Amino acid sequence: MSLMPPPLAILAELTHRCPLRCPYCSNPVALARSGDELGTQEWVDLLRQAAALGVLQVHLSGGEPTARKDLEAIVAAARELGIYTNLITSAVLLDQARVEALAAAGLDHVQISFQDSEEHSADRIGGYAGGHEKKRAVAAFVRGAGLPLTVNLVVHRQNLDRLPSMIEMAVALDARRIEVAHVQYYGWGLANRAALVPTRAQVAAADAVVAEARARLEGRIVIDYVVPDYYARRPKPCMGGWARQFLTVTPSGKVLPCHAADSIAGLIFESIRERPLAEIWESSEAFRRFRGTDWMPEPCRSCDRREIDWGGCRCQAFALLGDAAATDPACALSPHHEAVAALAAAESETGVDAFVYRSFANVVEAAGRAVRPGLAPRGAAARPGPG
């Protein structure tokens, strides 16, 4: 029996395989090959351990989770264990029969990501011709199967001006929830930052669009809004605090406090192939490293928000400063905040629009582009390339 309160939810990255190639993918720059993936029984065993620990929800993600032929079996196991299942998908591999099979297996909810409202731009950003129309069709299958739908809209400089029509598209698709999320700059997003960072004016306009849509759609559709850190005054309470509420399991079974934690050099994450989930959650060194407030430097240590935002995001502190133990520079109280805001403003004006697409082949280039002078991730250059 664990002494820690259990995690509320698990992000299960079933695979890093994905037909889309989004340049802001939250997967690590070093992608896991399919030969390393956990098998069906290993995922089912993990879910059993999670249920025993007290986990209530599993987000089935990737890569593209529907690339796994055993997804129905994994969903059925979760259902039997009483765990709520949310499928986070690009949708392009789904058809009506598979959506219905997943619903029959007990799937509770589907989240589909859209890259834009305009087809040509959407397919360019996702790096997948025909993807946008496929997603629209699958959204209808999801609603037709009686499943609730969340539309996820990742926004950045190259699509932000169309946010009003993106929200209207989600309404027309009968979404119950819309998530408008500014790109987070680690992993692939960091490698593509100059092509993605919005201007300050775009961010102000997006804030107003979301506020107006929330007021107009109140009572019908919930709109979640993930603000862009680089222009913020205070950081987000990333993951509700390190190793406090969530954990991620990678395709090969590594257990992380968040989806990007593997980008932090120097932390060793344990695998469910080597140690029970409850032990990792409670006492793994990497989980304990930034849990709570004891690890905090000033200004967090004496700040009255330290148990509200938990010092912000460790992965962002590492990506920008090369020091995961630093105050998140998204915080205006960080000595590095002004430099980050200036960097964002400068990059937003560069006019760069070419992407390094997420792919196994582009791993080395992406790692190189993530290393920049000044506010650079010091450990990134030493990270392994593709296997």
With CB under 5 to 8 Å by kind, the binding choice for 314 among ligand FES, ligand SF4, none is ligand FES
Burial 216-229 (b: 16+ CB within 10 A, else e): ebeeebebebebbb
109: left (phi over 0), alpha (psi -120 to 50) or beta: beta
Among 56, 333, 339, 375, which residue interacts with ligand SF4 (rule: CB under 6 A)? 333
Which structure tokens are listed for 283?
């006492």
Angle ∠(112,242,194) on CA atoms, nearest 5? 55
Choices 86-94, 205-213, 235-243, 340-348 (CB under 6 A): range interacting with ligand FES: 235-243
Nearer to ligand FES, 163 or 243 (CB): 243
With CB under 5 to 8 Å by kind, the binding choice for 306 among ligand FES, ligand SF4, none is ligand SF4
With CB under 5 to 8 Å by kind, the binding choice for 258 among ligand SF4, ligand FES, none is ligand FES
- Tell me which H or E stretch contains 366: helix 363-369
Nearer to ligand FES, 57 or 248 (CB): 248
Q: Does 228 bind ligand SF4 (CB under 6 A)?
A: no
Query: Residue 158's closest CA among 194, 207, 133, 132?
Result: 194
Q: Does 46 bind ligand FES (CB under 6 A)?
A: no
DSSP state of 230: G
Q: Does 51 bind ligand FES (CB under 6 A)?
A: no
Q: Does 94 bind ligand FES (CB under 6 A)?
A: no
Nearer to ligand SF4, 19 or 299 (CB): 299
Q: Does 234 bind ligand SF4 (CB under 6 A)?
A: yes
With CB under 5 to 8 Å by kind, the binding choice for 260 among ligand SF4, ligand FES, none is ligand FES
Which structure tokens are listed for 238?
């990333």
DSSP state of 61: E
Residues 6+ apart with CB under 8 A from 58: 9, 10, 11, 12, 47, 50, 78, 83, 84, 85, 86
The Cα 108–Cα 86 span in angstroms is 6
Q: Please tell me whether the peptide bond between 299 and the residue prior to it is cis, using omega within 30 degrees of 0.
A: yes
Choices 16-24, 121-129, 299-307, 365-373 (CB under 6 A): range interacting with ligand SF4: 299-307
Q: Does 331 bind ligand FES (CB under 6 A)?
A: no
Taking the complex as a whole, how short is the minimal distance between the CB of residue 124 and ligand SF4, in angstroms? 36
Q: Does 149 bind ligand FES (CB under 6 A)?
A: no
The Cα 361–Cα 379 span in angstroms is 21
With CB under 5 to 8 Å by kind, the binding choice for 309 among ligand FES, ligand SF4, none is ligand SF4
The Cα 57–Cα 50 span in angstroms is 9
With CB under 5 to 8 Å by kind, the binding choice for 318 among ligand FES, ligand SF4, none is none
The Cα 154–Cα 149 span in angstroms is 16
Separation in Å, CA 280 to CA 4, 82, 227, 272, 351:
11, 22, 31, 8, 45
Among 260, 300, 303, 331, which residue interacts with ligand FES (rule: CB under 6 A)? 260
Site map (CB under 6 A) of ligand FES, residues 284-323, x = contact: -----------------------------xxx--------
Q: What is the dihedral of CA 175, 239, 327, 367, to 10 degrees?
A: -80
Taking the complex as a whole, how short is the minimal distance between the CB of residue 120 and ligand SF4, in angstroms? 40
Nearer to ligand FES, 232 or 239 (CB): 239
Q: Does 330 bind ligand FES (CB under 6 A)?
A: no
Residues that bind ligand FES (CB under 6 A): 238-239, 242, 258, 260-261, 313-315
